[in-house]
C-alpha cells in the first residue's frame, strides 16, 4: 500500500467529498479549508471571503489502486475549471478551482494535465484552476464531514450532487 495525499478545491466541498468517498482506492476524504490567512478558520469566517481560504477536500489514496492523474480527471469532470471564484450559485474566492500539490510529481502531473485539457479544446474558455504549493490544511467542522451521506434530503445536495455521481460512475466504468 502506497498512501498519498491530494488537496483539491472546486466549489462546495460537500460535492467533492460526496464523489470521492465513492471512489475505489480512497482511504479518506476530509472537508476543510486551505490557502488563506489565519489559523483554524471557521466556516462562518471563510464564508465571508475575507480569510482567503478555499473550501477543499483532503484525500488520502492508495496510489497502487488509483493514481493522482485519475483523481484529477475526476476533479475536472465534476466542477467547472473555467469559472473564476464560483461554481454555479456559489460565489466567492472560497469556491475557487485550486489544486494544492503535495510534491514535485503532483505539480508536474497537475500542470501537464491542465495543459492537456487546454490543448484538447474541451472547454470554450480558459482553465482558471490555480496550482499552488502545499499550505496548511484545516479540517472543517464535524457536521461538514460526509455531509451528503448524513443529509441526503438537503435540497442543495439533491440538485447538485447526484448528477456528479452519475458522471463519475460512467467515467469510472469506461
Whose cell is 484545516? That residue is: 138
Crossing angle, helix 68-77 and helix 13-20, to 10 degrees?
130
Residue 8, SS3 per DSSP: strand
Phi-psi region of 99 (alpha: psi -120 to 50; beta: other; left: phi over 0): beta
Active site residue 47: no
Q: Phi first, then psi: what are they for 61, rounded to 5°?
A: -140, 150
Please check whether residue 5 is in contact with residue 28, taking contact to mean a CB–CB distance below 8 angstroms: no
Q: Among residues 12, 15, 31, 157, which one is catalytic? A: 12
| CB-CB neighbours of 134 under 10 Å | 14
How is 64-111 classified by DSSP, letter by letter? TTS-HHHHHHHHHHSS-TTSTTEETTEESGGG-EEEE--SHHHHHHHH
Mind telling me the catalytic residues?
Answer: 12
Amino acid at each position: 500500500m502506497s498512501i498519498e495525499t491530494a488537496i483539491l478545491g472546486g466549489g462546495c466541498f460537500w460535492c467533492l467529498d460526496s464523489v470521492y468517498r465513492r471512489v475505489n482506492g480512497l482511504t479518506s476524504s476530509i472537508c476543510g479549508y486551505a490557502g488563506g490567512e489565519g489559523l483554524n478558520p471557521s466556516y462562518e469566517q471563510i464564508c465571508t471571503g475575507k480569510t482567503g481560504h478555499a473550501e477543499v477536500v483532503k484525500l488520502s489514496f492508495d496510489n497502487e489502486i488509483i493514481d493522482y492523474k485519475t483523481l484529477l480527471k475526476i476533479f475536472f469532470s465534476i466542477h467547472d475549471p473555467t469559472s473564476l471564484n464560483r461554481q454555479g450559485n456559489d460565489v466567492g474566492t472560497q469556491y475557487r478551482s485550486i489544486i494544492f500539490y503535495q510534491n514535485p510529481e503532483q505539480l508536474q502531473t497537475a500542470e501537464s494535465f491542465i495543459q492537456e485539457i487546454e490543448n484538447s479544446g474541451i472547454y470554450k474558455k480558459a482553465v482558471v484552476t490555480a496550482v499552488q504549493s502545499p499550505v496548511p490544511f484545516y479540517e472543517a467542522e464535524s457536521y461538514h464531514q460526509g455531509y451528503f451521506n448524513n443529509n441526503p434530503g438537503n435540497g442543495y445536495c439533491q440538485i447538485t450532487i447526484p448528477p456528479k455521481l452519475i458522471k463519475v460512475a460512467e467515467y469510472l466504468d469506461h
